[in-house]
């Protein structure tokens, strides 16, 4: 995989320190599954986290309190049911040419060919993904080859991870594994490259507000 667009330091840092919500984390973690170089950057951040954690100041506790705590821990271990081996995830063979890595695959219940697409109009489709945050929209998008994603603006951050095909916009060309991070300061017009449909994971702060009049008219009907 030839990845050219990576996760920014500040976003990866939010993921490393645990502050990033589920929807954004899904895009970040799925890119990480495809990108050894971002994993290396994450490891460096977690190493910094470890060093900072190691330096944490501890108020002195009485030895008897620490002994009491340890005895409680021992009792807990003695009483714990033996840990069941974590059952392996649904077996997928690499031969099947799996396209979507974990953690995303579990969220969509299989590979992209299993997705039950919903029409978005103008030949585009989407598949909404449920996470624990109502105000973060997470979904797969399928844009027909050579066609634009309906022009849109949005209220905050937008993350896009390409899974199949490619698109281009002012920031360049984005192919499989590439990660795009934009915000309200960027008015971009992604266009799927000719040849094949572009499938990507799109995570946004708020529902996309499509500028196109037709789409705006049907937006309430589609609930997007």
Partner 1 sequence: MISAKVRVRKLEKTVKEPDKEELSACLLAVGARKDIQAFEVLFRHFGPKIRAFMLKRGGNRQQAEELMQETMMMIWNKAALFDPARGSVSSWIFTVARNVRIDAFRKTNRPEFDPNDPAFVPDAEPAADDVYQAGQEADRLRGALVKLPPEQADLLRLSFYEEISHSAIAERMNLPLGTVKSRIRLAFSRLREILGDAA
**Contact residues: Zn ion, CB under 5 A:** 6, 35, 38
Q: For residues 175-204, which are near partner 1 according to CB under 8 A?
A: 177
Please state, in angstroms and rounded to a whole number, the distance separating the CA atoms of residues 170 and 200: 17
Lookup: tokens for 40: 């290396």
- Tell me, residue by residue from 131 to 170, as one string, x for binding to partner 1 by CB under 8 A and - for no binding: xxx-------------------------------------
Lookup: tokens for 143: 């844009």
Q: For residues 83-122, which are near partner 1 according to CB under 8 A?
A: 83, 88-89, 92-94, 96, 98-105, 107
Q: How many CA atoms lie within 13 A of 223 on its CB side?
A: 3
Number of residues that bind partner 1 (CB under 8 A): 74
Strand partners, 105: none
Q: For residues 46-75, which are near partner 1 according to CB under 8 A?
A: 46-54, 56-59, 61, 63-64, 66-67, 69-70, 72-74
Please state, in angstroms and rounded to a whole number, the distance separating the CA atoms of residues 54 and 30: 29
> Can you tell me whether residue 84 is helix, strand or coil?
coil
Partner in contact with 115, chosen from partner 1, Zn ion, none, beta carbon below 5 to 8 Å by kind: none
Q: Rule CB under 8 A: is residue 206 a binding residue for partner 1?
A: no
User: Which range touches partner 1 (CB under 8 A), out of 5-13, 146-154, 192-200, 208-216?
Assistant: 5-13
Partner in contact with 93, chosen from partner 1, Zn ion, none, beta carbon below 5 to 8 Å by kind: partner 1
Chain-centroid distance, C-alpha 113: 19
Nearest to 117 by CA among 84, 137, 142: 142
């Amino acid at each position: 995989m030839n990845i050219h667009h990576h996760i920014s330091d500040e976003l990866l840092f939010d993921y490393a320190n645990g502050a990033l919500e589920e929807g954004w984390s899904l895009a970040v973690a799925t890119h990480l599954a495809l990108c050894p170089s971002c994993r290396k950057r994450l490891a460096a951040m977690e190493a910094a986290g470890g060093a900072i954690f190691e330096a944490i100041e501890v108020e002195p506790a009485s030895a008897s309190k620490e002994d009491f705590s340890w005895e409680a821990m021992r009792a807990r271990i003695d009483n714990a049911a033996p840990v069941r081996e974590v059952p392996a995830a649904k077996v997928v063979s690499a031969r099947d040419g799996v396209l979507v890595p974990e953690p995303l695959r579990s969220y969509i219940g299989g590979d992209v060919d299993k997705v039950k697409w919903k029409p978005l109009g103008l030949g585009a489709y989407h598949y909404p993904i449920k996470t624990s945050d109502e105000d973060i929209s997470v979904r797969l998008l399928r844009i027909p080859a050579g066609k634009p994603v309906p022009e849109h603006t949005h209220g905050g951050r937008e993350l896009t991870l390409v899974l199949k095909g490619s698109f281009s916009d002012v920031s360049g060309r984005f192919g499989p594994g590439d990660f795009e991070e934009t915000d309200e300061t960027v008015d971009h017009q992604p266009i799927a490259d000719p040849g094949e449909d572009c499938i990507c994971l799109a995570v946004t702060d708020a529902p996309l507000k499509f500028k196109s009049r037709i789409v705006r008219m049907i937006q309430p009907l589609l609930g997007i």
